[in-house]
Amino acid sequence: MPTNAPTAAPPLPDVASSDTTLRHFLHGLPGVDTVGLEARAAALGTRSIKTTAKAYAIDLAISMVDLTTLEGADTPGKVRALGAKAVHPDPTDPATPSTAAVCVYPDMVASAKEAVAGSSVKVASVATAFPAGRAALPVKLADVRDAVAAGADEIDMVIDRGAFLAGKYLKVYDEITAVKEACGTSARLKVIFETGELSTYDNIRRASWLGMLAGADFIKTSTGKVAVNATPANTLLMLEAVRDFRARTGVQVGVKPAGGIRTTKDAIKFLVLVNETVGEDWLDNHWFRFGASSLLNDLLMQRQKLATGRYSGPDYVTVD
């Protein structure tokens, strides 16, 4: 497990000294070349992965999955079953890696912790009035503290997109720093932008820097609850942002695309983006995750096919 996770507040404190200085910095970031960004993402998606490399990529992708259930009908039993699957994704093959985490609502954290006890699997919890983020800050912070008190290793917060789109950058910054403080020293913070609601690539770049400046340990594309979620282009843009942020500050931040990544082919395209944009330092589940539910099943089927030469089909993996 890498030991250089960001533990201190990011540099450039003067940037957030006022709304004016923060706006000046964010709007001073280079504009995004839409055509160039989408063309590069598409080109990287055509890379061919051979059998040996594919087997490695599948195991790596499994180890990066945040196995997720975020439904109103979630029960402790469902969460415990999901936790068991996260620890042993393929009970017939003990060599199959565990997933990175199980992601649940705050009231399900205790059940998830029980299910993954003794394993490397983390428990992540969405908070801050997920997915809309429409609540007063004290309510959001109470949500976070409840999850951390129940044992959450990671908190996935949503930003106030309304405030961001209205240009109230300091309000968003202050909320992120307050949530980071509520996480204490025991939980890492993932900041969700809901990129499908930010309208432009320039906004995604600004949100990425805003989140990192405020102390995010991860920046995350989406909640998975809107029409447009993770795409190769918006993930590439966020990878470029974390690369440039580390070059400028020395602080490494993780990236989590979430929503819409359902197949092994999709996952491998994203791993190529990581390798070609930020390199091996991010090819680890401490720094890159997939927010996905159905993805794991396809990864397991493809893994079985490589091992046996036969495509087992969906009846041979558990349905989440």
Could you tell me the CATH number of the domain that includes residue 58? Answer: 3.20.20.70
Task: Given the residues 85, 140, 220, 269, select the one marked as catalytic.
Answer: 220
pLDDT of 3: 47
Evaluate whether residue 41 is within a structural domain: no
pLDDT digits (tens, 9 = 90+) for 95-120: 999 999 999 999 999 999 999 999 99
Task: From the candidates 66, 153, 156, 217, give the one annotated as an active-site residue.
Answer: 156
Query: How many domains are there within the chain?
Result: 1
Give the domain extent around 185.
50-308
* Banded model confidence at residue 319, pLDDT cuts 50, 70, 90: very low
- What string of H, E and C letters represents the secondary structure of the chain? CCCCCCCCCCCCHHHHCCHHHHHHHHHCCCCCCHHHHHHHHHHHCCCCCCHHHHHHHHHHHHHCEEEECCCCCCCHHHHHHHHHHHHCCCCCCCCCCCCCEEEECHHHHHHHHHHHCCCCCEEEEEECCCCCCCCCHHHHHHHHHHHHHCCCCEEEEECCHHHHHCCCHHHHHHHHHHHHHHHCCCCEEEEECCHHHCCCHHHHHHHHHHHHHCCCCEEECCCCCCCCCCCHHHHHHHHHHHHHHHHHHCCCCEEECECCCCCHHHHHHHHHHHHHHCCHHHCCCCCECEEECCHHHHHHHHHHHHHHCCCCCHHHCCCC
Query: Could you tell me if residue 155 is inside a domain?
Result: yes
Domain-located, residue 8: no
156 has catalytic annotation: yes
pTM score, whole prediction: 0.92
Quick: pLDDT tens for 118-159.
999 999 999 999 999 999 999 999 999 999 999 999 999 999
Does residue 18 lie in a domain region? no
Residue 29: inside a domain: no
Q: Which of 85, 122, 190, 256 is catalytic?
A: 256
